[in-house]
Amino acid sequence: MDKGAHFYRCDFQVHSPRDIAYTGNKYGLSSEEIENITPEQKEKITLEREQFSKEYLQKIREAGLNAIAMTDHHDVVFVKQLRKVAEIQNQEFKSNSEFDKVITVFPGIEMSLANPVSQCIIIFDSDFSDTNLDSVINFFGINPTNEFEKFTTPTLKISQTVVNDLVHLHEKLNELNYCKGRYVILPNVGKGGEHTIMRSGFHEHYRKMPCVGGYVDKAISTESGYQNKINGGDVNYGNKSIALISTSDNRYEDGREFGKYSTWIKWAEPTAEAIKQACLAKESRISQVEPELPQIFIQSVDVTISKFLGTFNINLNQQYNALIGGRGTGKSTILEYLRWGLCDQTIQNSDFDELSIIEKRRKALIQKTLSDVGGEVRITMVKNGILHIVKRNSQTREILLKIGNGDFQQVKEDDVRKVLPIQSYSQKQLSDVGVKTEELKRFIEQPITNSLGTIKFKLSETGTKLKNSYNQLIRKKEIQQEIDNFNLESNSLNNQADNIRKSLRGVSETDQQTINKKSKFEIEDSIISNSKNELQIFENKADELLKLLETYPEPLGSIEELENKTLIQEISNEVDSKFSEIKVTVQAFKEIFSSEKLATLNNKIKEWTEKKAAFEVAYEQAKNTSQSSQQQLSEIQNIEKRISEISKIISDRTLLIKEIGTPEEEFDEQKLNWLNYHTEKVSLLNEQALKFTGLSKNLIKAEVTKSINLLPLKTQLKSIFEGTRIREERIDAIIESIRESADPVKEYTDILEEFRLLAELKVSEDKTLAIPETPKLTSCGYSEEHKTKLCNKLTTDDWLRLSVSELEFNPEFFYTTNNQLGDVIPFREASAGQQATALLTVLLNQPGIPLLIDQPEDDIDNRAIDQIIKNIWDAKKKRQLIFTSHNANLVVNGDAELVICCDYKDSTSQTRGIIKEEGAIDKKLVRNEITSVMEGGEKAFKLRKDKYGF
């Protein structure tokens, strides 16, 4: 577990059986019996109280509490026993890694004051000694009853001569060295009742008290006037804002009030200082409902060896982590190791000279500090409760990934980026984003990466289907054109053959009849051949289907862990039954083509074959008996041979067309899909752009619909138009027409459709070859001459390349200079500070993946620091933050859950770095580091206190 601050569910007012109003067994003797108490009785009471404590702690645990303060009125007897039992149990739980069962017990006292007439709770560090507890009681002049007595002494108000007011109470406790810095006072600030200081006339006590929080018995009032005072809105109450802590005030042995009234409080160590710091940052450290926490976070980073930092391990907090230290002590190095280990923004360009300064610096850092010494970076990341571990070796470049309880498997950088994405920015990088379109696009696209990936896949599949269906469509048109041409040739040849037959001389009538039958037999031969081919097609389909059925259905596998396993098994059995029927049916289909089933057909074909053979003999005899017409008969034979060839070709082509089917329907469907998917993409991007504007608090506006990236289209058109002498301004006219259209995607598809008509003119069924109607191109200034040139130059392959490309969008960004008037300027024209502040606002309002930024204060406008801090409070509920910083305000008032302090191992050489300290700001050593090495450290802590009016 990390050393930072975490939420604990607390009840800071529970009572022991010694409380006068306690309901249940008392575990002690009466005042009369105490005088004659025996050692045996003492031992018995001690054992009973010990058993009570065990049961009491278990009830606390079962109620979901993590910490309590036992605060009896002017008494500390029982809390010592309870804490002793808790310490023993906690050690056992920790050794068994059962951290959720650990209960922290704070010792405390509930005090009744005479001035102001009210009650307050004093809570001490959880390890505050028993001796010191007794000393505090004595210091205030309280005479407790005997420790073995049933009841505490009757509660009498602390005289104002002892404690004059809450300011004086603090001063008195600070007189005791063992108390100073180890206690926190929480006055009763309930809305009503005789014990609260929120009563009429007590406002001066409230205004002056040096208390940062207060407690409430049971539920906290939501009444607006009360809330206004508590939240610093009432000048009569000094505009003092304090934290509220709801308590159960449980006095029941069965613990029936546990968990009903509690408060989640965040600390790194269970101390009074931690409670104070939580009250000072109540927006992020105190919650009356179960806190919202990021579900995707980097849990740890391990480096086997680094030239600068050596071997180190850091367990990171689920929320806000701040790396601090002097310049060059390793803060940025740790951040870069995290990024490199998770393959973030990997350098794509192999040309070192063309790399950005940031990329060069990062590559050099990894090479010099890791690769040269063979270091390996290991990152553990949690996604919705599942551990993911990445190991990346700097020398072998091997990347291994383990998910959950699975084994390590070798993966690529892209795999890591997809499974474990982060958002990260190097020093000054946020300031540079404003002029980089691709970086700005990331803000829109990152949150919807998966959805965009799905659309991209669909468009890729659509492109493939579009290409296939279009190729089939063109092939069908080409085949049909071939058939038409062959029909023309066949028609001519048939006329020629008929004419020659009529002109034959010296041929008997019988021979003439035989010769005339030749064309009929050729037609019959074509019919039979075509029929056999058709049957063969379906026999092949039966074979294909039987082969496919060998892999179906998919085995069900284990279903023991399923909710409705019986029903699932029944459904699976029904599916198996259907596939059995299918297999039987397909097998019966296949049987149709067996020799037995085809016997009648084969006999008929055999009968025809015999007739044809007999005819061929008679035909040859008829030709040979007509010697005078041999030349004409020879010509008829040649023509008939060609007619037979053409008939066979037409038959084959016709079968091909049948096999091709109706690709025009598939083509039209895929064109519509292409349009619809792009419409969906635009809609998704527009929706995200609106969210982006909201996340920026309206500082940035983004427009997507009219921002198609048309450069690829222009580049392709220039290549196609090359040699046509059509000027580039005509291409620009198309680009402008799309850009200015109300529906650019529709305009894009309409223009592409006109290009298709021009490309297909060569295979058009229109034999006039007239230039098709293309009104879009006409409106762009294309003349008939231009279109004719395009018909000659543009191929269907050219059109396909244009049509299957996915459209990309480059959103246009604007900076809002005046929200009320709606004034905006192009984002690139805003100052670097305005740009970075607006973008950081988006990042901090965006939920999801971890956000890593190296020194965000270098980019943002100083005037915006306060607003950025408030954004940080909300941000860390929804995403993990890992920042390096020199600005104490971001760390202290941003309330970092974990501060990691870096320093030089040897300040004289500054060649090696170390991680000097880890913890939250409620830890003294961490506070010391902040004030000594950070810019404005002491001032930041003062500002933190000044905000609360003391």
Distance CA(508)–CA(345), nearest Å, equals 93
Q: Which amino acid is at 897?
A: E
Q: For residue 808, tell me if it sits in a domain.
A: no
Q: Using the predicted structure, report yes or no on whether residue 350 has a pLDDT greater than 50.
A: no
Q: Report yes or no on 474 lying in a domain.
A: no
Clarify whether residues 240 and 337 are in a common domain: no
Give the pLDDT confidence score for residue 183 in this predicted structure.
97
Structure tokens belonging to residue 66? 């993590």
Are residue 107 and residue 180 in the same domain, yes or no?
yes
pLDDT digits (tens, 9 = 90+) for 56-96: 999 999 999 999 999 999 999 999 999 999 999 999 999 99
pLDDT for res 659: 84
Can you tell me the mean pLDDT for 218-238? 95
User: Is the omega angle on the peptide bond into residue 553 within 30 degrees of 0, that is, cis?
Assistant: yes
**Looking at the domain assignment, is residue 690 inside a domain?**
no
Share of the chain above pLDDT 90, in %: 58
720 domain residue, yes or no: no
Q: Could you say which of 625, 643, 674 is where a domain stops? A: 625
The string of pLDDT tens digits covering residues 767-811 is: 556 888 999 999 999 999 999 999 888 888 888 888 888 898 888
Report the chain's C-alpha Rg in angstroms: 44
Residue 404 shares a structural domain with residue 534: no
Does residue 410 sit in the same domain as residue 372?
yes
Residue ending a domain, choose from 562, 592, 625: 625
pLDDT at 449: 86
* Number of H-type helices and E-type strands within the chain: 31, 24
pLDDT tens per residue, range 415-464 = 999 999 999 988 877 777 666 767 778 888 888 888 999 999 999 999 99
Q: Residue 850: what residue type? A: P
Alpha-carbon separation of residue 727 from 710, 719, 721, 783, 854 (angstroms)? 18, 12, 9, 12, 50
pLDDT at 936: 67
**Per-residue model confidence (pLDDT) at position 54:** 96
pLDDT averaged over the chain? Answer: 89
Same domain, 43 and 191: yes
Residues 939, 852 share a domain: yes
Q: Are 179 and 209 in contact (CB under 8 A)?
A: no
Q: Find the helix packing angle between 711-721 and 796-803, rounded to 10°.
A: 170
Rounded CA-CA distance 439/733 in Å is 29
How does residue 351 score in pLDDT terms, banded at 50, 70 and 90? Answer: very low
- CATH code of 365's domain: 3.40.50.300
Place of tokens 């599942």: 386
Instruction: Say how many Å lie between the first and final Cα of the chain, rounded.
Output: 35
Whether residue 206 sits in one domain with residue 97 = yes
Higher pLDDT, 368 or 641: 368
The predicted pLDDT at position 948 comes to 38
- Taking alpha carbons only, the member of 712, 656, 671, 753 closest to residue 465 is 671
3-state secondary structure of 251: coil
Q: Report the CATH number that the domain containing residue 175 is assigned in CATH.
A: 3.20.20.140
pTM as predicted? 0.79
Domain range for 31 is 6-287
Cβ–Cβ under 8 Å, residues 854 and 365? no
Q: Do 911 and 856 fall into the same domain?
A: yes
Query: Has residue 745 been placed in a domain?
Result: no
Which range is least confidently modeled, 214-228, 808-822, 847-861?
808-822
Per-residue pLDDT of 234-282, as tens digits, reads: 999 999 999 999 999 999 999 999 999 999 999 999 999 999 999 998 9
Strand-pair partners of 820: none
Domain termination residue (choose one: 625, 644, 662)? 625
What distance in Å separates the CA atoms of residue 672 and residue 805, rounded to the nearest whole number?
14
Lowest mean pLDDT among 149-153, 697-701, 906-910, 930-934: 906-910
pLDDT of the residue at 626:
67
310 and 251 within one domain: no
- Whether residue 249 contacts residue 13, with contact meaning beta carbons closer than 8 Å, is answered with yes
79 & 120 share domain: yes
| pLDDT score of 93 | 95
pLDDT of 486-536, one tens digit each? 889 889 988 888 887 777 766 777 877 887 788 788 888 888 888 888 898
Encode pLDDT of 282-319 as tens digits: 988 999 999 999 999 999 999 999 999 999 999 999 99
pLDDT band at 837 (very low <50, low <70, confident <90, very high): confident
Per the domain annotation, does 691 fall within a domain? Answer: no
Confidence at residue 497, expressed as pLDDT on a 0 to 100 scale: 82
Structural domain contains residue 194: yes
Query: Does pLDDT of 352 surpass 80?
Result: no
- Cα distance between residue 705 and residue 738, in whole Å: 11
Cβ 297 vs Cβ 381: under 8 Å:
yes
Q: Which residues pair with 70 in a beta bridge?
A: 14, 107
Do 145 and 252 share a domain, yes or no? yes
- What per-residue confidence (pLDDT) applies to 628? 61
Q: Which residue's entry shows tokens 């109470």?
A: 169
In terms of domains, do 409 and 355 share one? yes
Q: Is 171 inside any structural domain? A: yes
Counted domains in the chain: 3
